[in-house]
Amino acid sequence: MPHTDNHEHYREHKHGHEHKHDHKREPWDFKKVQDYVDRFDAPDRDNWQMPETVFDALDLKDGSKLADFGAGTGYFTVRAAKRVGSGIVYAVDSEPEMLKYLTDRAEQAGLKNIVPCLIDPDALTLPEPVDAILIVNTYHHIDDRIEYLSKVKQWLRPGGKIAVLEGKAGSPIEPPEQFLMSADQVAHEFKQAGFEILIDKDLPYQSMQVFARYKIDAFRPEHQKGVEQLVLPIQQIEFGVPVTLEGQPDLVNIKGTFQHGVGNFWVAFADGKVVGSVGIVDIANNQVALKKMFVHADYRGKELGVASALLNTVFDWCAQHSIREIYLGTVDILRAAHRFYEKNGFVEVAKSDLPEQFPVVAVDTKFYRAFLPSSDN
């Protein structure tokens, strides 16, 4: 993978060859590192690059782990290292001279959380999975991009994101025609590789898109059929629970049941379909009932973290709306679900301890409660 650049390099050097995706043999002289420093770290770059906006899009915070692909001279790497604090930034590049310069730069800046990673352009490896991957002005250099992206998945932690920035046509950093990629093309390739798009916006000179293996959205009426196709087979076929669609008014009328007061309903999307769901019903007194939490069998487990992401969405919503208690009902045979709830702070309670307005379902035999910390604490 070549280094991240601002395409001044393109205008001055023009490559002089067709784009054949054989970038390991491009005649770039990385020993003249200072030339690249002058271009990649130009004093005015912050004005149009907007690094903090990029970091916000990736939800980078203290403790986050980021892989800066095509790190180059470290424009993003050093800024991200300061942002993530106790986290780690893996500076990934295929050019030893660039990484040597970046390592020296980090040392001089006293940044001990930057880890240089020299890679073969065709063989992506990282020391560990990360929370976010940043690819700036470099994506168009990758060979067999869809296959490459499919392999990148293993290096994303649950809920991990990838940001891709590419120079826009007509901008001062517009790449030559053979390297120019539209935002639509990038989005199409990520979709083919099994990613969902979370953010699609323009920076002054670049398109910026953020992708993840799945995304979570608040329920809209057009999601109804997808939720039914997720929930009913899990209930009826996988677990043999004797329920029907007609016997579940909350599933028939999701909007009317969940989306009022402090209640809401969310769906997880992956590979173009609904793969997870969860809802909370407002039962007054700063209490809610958690219902209809399901994840498709192919998307369960720690590797993706869909269930955790759905539950964290609920917790975040509750914190924002001063909700203090969450109650839920389930059935005895869902042992994995019991373990999941218990691991996430739920404690089993007797049916007699449920709030008066809790909507008890006839098939439920096991009940849980979670106390949430006050936002005043």
Last residue of a domain, one of 213, 243, 277: 213
Q: Alpha-carbon distance 372 to 118, whole Å?
A: 45
Q: Is the pTM of this model over 0.75?
A: yes
Q: Is residue 337 part of a domain?
A: yes
Structure tokens at 157: 């932690």
Residue with tokens 């098939």: 363
Per-residue pLDDT tens over the stretch 105-145: 999 999 999 999 999 877 778 999 999 999 999 899 888 99
**What whole-number distance in Å separates Cα of residue 160 and Cα of residue 180?**
27
Alpha carbon separation from 314 to 186, 249, 373 (Å, rounded)? 31, 21, 14
User: What is the CATH classification number for the domain harbouring 65?
Assistant: 3.40.50.150
Same-domain status, 183 and 308: no
Q: For residue 300, give the 3-state DSSP assignment.
A: coil
Whether residue 147 sits in one domain with residue 65:
yes
pLDDT tens-place string over residues 258-272 = 999 999 999 999 988
Contact 105, 37 (CB under 8 A): no
* Residue 124 lies inside a defined structural domain of this protein: yes
**Exposed, middle or buried by CB within 10 Å (0-12, 13-18, 19+), for 299?**
buried
Express each pLDDT in 73-93 by its tens digit. Answer: 999 999 999 999 999 999 999
d(CA 160, CA 176): 31
Cα–Cα distance list, 278 to 219, 336, 356 (Å): 10, 16, 22
Residues 36 and 184 in one domain: yes
In a shared domain, residues 150 and 258: no
Domain count, the chain: 2
- Cα 298 from Cα 238, distance rounded (Å): 13
Confidence label for 20 from pLDDT (cuts 50, 70 and 90): very low
